[in-house]
A = this chain, B = another copy of it.
């Protein structure tokens, strides 16, 4: 096969660099065979032959090359040629190419894609859903440390027209490893003959393209920056995320948390626009789970039927007592969930916070015991002690459940906000029913 390809007349045309004639000869060759031919040329001839091919054929041939040859070829093509090539490649070939190429080639490629392709490319590049890679844009300006400030500024003038933001300029070496970031104003304020290296402060905060987008949010917040460089696993600069994208992400994440805290599933659209089915699906799941969980509260009550029939007045205090446990627990859970979302509280803080929670919950429980005793005094004085003791214990137990569940869920790899108010309420109900009627049965000496 190869021997057929390398017929003398073909070799002569190549030798003579008669690319136009060669194109005519190759016009009806299948792409895989042209690819084979390309493989057997000297490196410097490859790009010349490649350029001579019609655009569609060139793309086909490119698809049939090995990754290494593709990489070599790309290095020798102009930006314009590369852009055409990428635009013409079938999406899956493009993904494969972008995925497998070394970091600096990937980032050059991303720079060349138009905005519409970019969205697709980020998706195609295989960055996980909700990752920084999905959020980033390649519209930034990078300079080299050895350039003078004057050179850098004229590079910025040329490149800056397309850039999402040039308020922050990035410094990379020739392999696109991120070295530093410098605010544009430092270029303006520096003497024009200084080098970029002179105004570098050797301190740059970056985020991995594979990190969860919340990490970008936190980094931008923490370091008070408007723009954050994104690097791949080799430390090669592949894009930037800007604070306006982050604000949108933050709003989405916060809305998700709000919904979770109320046991609502993902809605992911305007509430005004959300159709019936989306709202129904988002709400029914947890509600049904909670109904079946509440069988246990019912079972608890059934177990104490004798006690209830002996002192029906006990039922008067039932919603009041079990709600209090749920309410105190919801408070604790929400305080924790929010503190975990903002990074104020971490997994390791559980034990440290436990003693404070116990103290606060005990104080709240005792205060509410006084309140419920006053109600019992007017209503059913025979159960004052029962409801007061029950209230204290229920608030304590509810708070502990509420405070701990977000940590437990985090440990299980779930979102801490899964410890929703309705879930806490149900758990507090179940424990509340057991505590209340156990104390009542024991204190009032009912049954055997």
Residues on A facing B (Cβ under 8 Å)? 28-30, 32, 153, 156-157, 160-161, 166-167, 183-185, 188-189, 201-203, 205, 220-226, 243-244, 247-248, 250-251, 254-255, 257-259, 261-264, 267, 270-272, 276, 279-280, 283-284, 286-288, 290-292, 294-295, 297-299, 301-302, 305, 308-309, 312-313, 315-320, 322-324, 326-328, 330-331, 333-339, 342, 344-345, 349, 352-353, 356, 359-360, 363-364, 367-368, 371-372, 375, 379, 395, 421-422, 425-426, 429, 433
Contacts and interface: CB of A to CB of B under 8 A. Distances in A.
Given A188-B188, A263-B330, A263-B331, A270 B429 contact: no
22 contacts: A28-B202, A30-B205, A156-B188, A258-B261, A259-B334, A261-B261, A261-B262, A261-B334, A262-B331, A262-B421, A263-B330, A263-B331, A264-B335, A272-B339, A276-B356, A284-B367, A287-B331, A291-B371, A298-B379, A309-B309, A309-B312, A330-B422
A337 B264 CA distance: 13
B319 A433 contact: yes
A448 to B, nearest CB: 19
Contacts of A258: 257-258, 261, 334, 337-338
B334 A264 contact: yes
B153 A188 contact: yes
Contact of A319 (B312, B395, B429): B429
Nearest to A374: B292
Contacts of A153: 188
A183 B335 CA distance: 41
Contacts of A342: 251, 255
Contacts of A422: 323, 326-327, 330-331, 421
Looking at A257, A294, A375, A425, the one whose CB has the most chain B CB atoms below 10 A away is A294
A363 B262 CA distance: 19
Given A272-B352, A334-B262, A335-B259, A301 B318 contact: yes
Main secondary structure of the interface of A (DSSP, over half): helix
A247 B250 CA distance: 9
Given A189-B157, A421-B330, A276 B360 contact: yes
Contact of A315 (B286, B301, B425): B301
B283 A331 contact: yes
Copies in the complex: 2
A221 B220 CA distance: 15
A322 B290 CA distance: 12
Contact of A280 (B220, B224, B349, B360): B360
A299 B425 CA distance: 21
A121 to B, nearest CB: 21
A323 B294 contact: yes
A319 B335 contact: no
A272 B99 CA distance: 39
Contacts of A188: 153, 156-157, 160, 166, 184, 188
B30 A203 contact: yes
The 10 closest A-B pairs by CB, nearest first: A262-B334, A294-B320, A297-B319, A271-B339, A224-B244, A298-B316, A327-B422, A421-B421, A167-B167, A258-B338
Contacts of A161: 189
Contacts of A339: 270-272
A202 B30 CA distance: 10
Contacts of A276: 356, 359-360, 363
Given A327-B425, A330-B421, A353 B271 contact: yes
A226 B223 contact: no
B298 A367 contact: no
A299 B317 CA distance: 9
A425 B323 contact: yes
B301 A316 contact: yes
Contact of A272 (B353, B368, B372): B353
A321 to B, nearest CB: 9
Given A29-B203, A262-B334, A294-B323, 8 more contacts: A247-B250, A271-B338, A272-B344, A279-B335, A294-B319, A298-B379, A327-B422, A330-B422
Given A32-B222, A287-B368, A363-B280, A426 B160 contact: no
